[in-house]
Amino acid sequence: MALSKHPAKGAQSIVPVRCITLLTDFGEQDVFVGILRGVILSIAPEAQIVDLTHLIPPQDVRQGARALARAAPHFPPGTIHLAVVDPGVGTARRPMAARIGSQWFVGPDNGLATLLLKRAQRAALACEVVVLNRREYWLREVSHVFHGRDIFAPVAAHLACGVALTQLGTPLADPVLLPFAEPQPTAGGLRGEVTTIDRFGNVLTNIEPAHCAGGQVERVRLGQFEIGGMVRTFAEGTTGALVALWSSEEHLCLAEVNGNAARRLSASPGDAVEVFIVRPGSSEAL
């Protein structure tokens, strides 16, 4: 396998080594993740590589976008996020790279960067997006079915070596942005949705404290189940009790004490969640 003929000579002595994160739906059975790491290290041998997760559900771009948005704020400026959840690989979908605030994204233009771009827009952070079309920064031979290896990994490595974003491609004005539902007001409070089920069976939603506008959560309903009030920890209650709490990232989370809430509630991403809110000074839910 031949590597790019432009390894950004001398760049490593000029710029600090950057962290490269990896997020994919490749799983852990095959060698695909190891190959990505090998390509990166062949070009940027001092790169610091961090595996976020390789267990995104296959082809689930939306879950990939959510996971990336959860992880990115915890990394330092200059971090390069290489993400590959790419059901459209080899089709007309565009390869892209972006500077989003002080970090970078490399991956398919299929909405995987949606939440990073929207967050940056809300915070008025500078963004620059390019379509990757400078083949000298790819591997010499490009497969129709493994752009993670042949395009995205080498591009991330060249960024880590100090190659400018504008050298890697031309401006992209219309990156794909997926729609993500926002909680909507109801007569009693809010209606949101399940976004993620974690490995403990905790049910995470798109509802944040700010959506409650200063009110207190009186109860939460998902399907036929209702949970009264809020607790502070996963252990607050007797074993088997269903509880609601704010997650470490301040999203409404439904859990079963020492159990699996998703299985108990038969919950899946996209399911509706109703929150009933009491305003200060009121004894009745909205």
Q: What is the pTM of this model?
A: 0.89
Looking at domain 11-171, does it have CATH number 2.40.50.140?
Answer: no
Q: Yes or no: say if 188 and 274 are a contact pair by the CB < 8 Å rule.
A: yes
Q: Yes or no: say if 105 and 120 are a contact pair by the CB < 8 Å rule.
A: no
For position 282, what pLDDT does the model report? Answer: 58
For position 283, what pLDDT does the model report? Answer: 55
Residue 237: CA count within 13 A, CB half-sphere: 21
Low pLDDT (below 70) residues in the chain: 1-17, 281-286
Fold classification of 184-278 (topology level): Elongation Factor Tu (Ef-tu); domain 3 (2.40.30)
In the chain, domain spans:
11-171, 184-278
For position 4, what pLDDT does the model report? Answer: 37
Closest CA to 35 of 124, 137, 145, 110: 145
Q: What sign for the dihedral angle of Cα 204, 22, 169, 158?
A: positive
For position 214, what pLDDT does the model report? Answer: 86
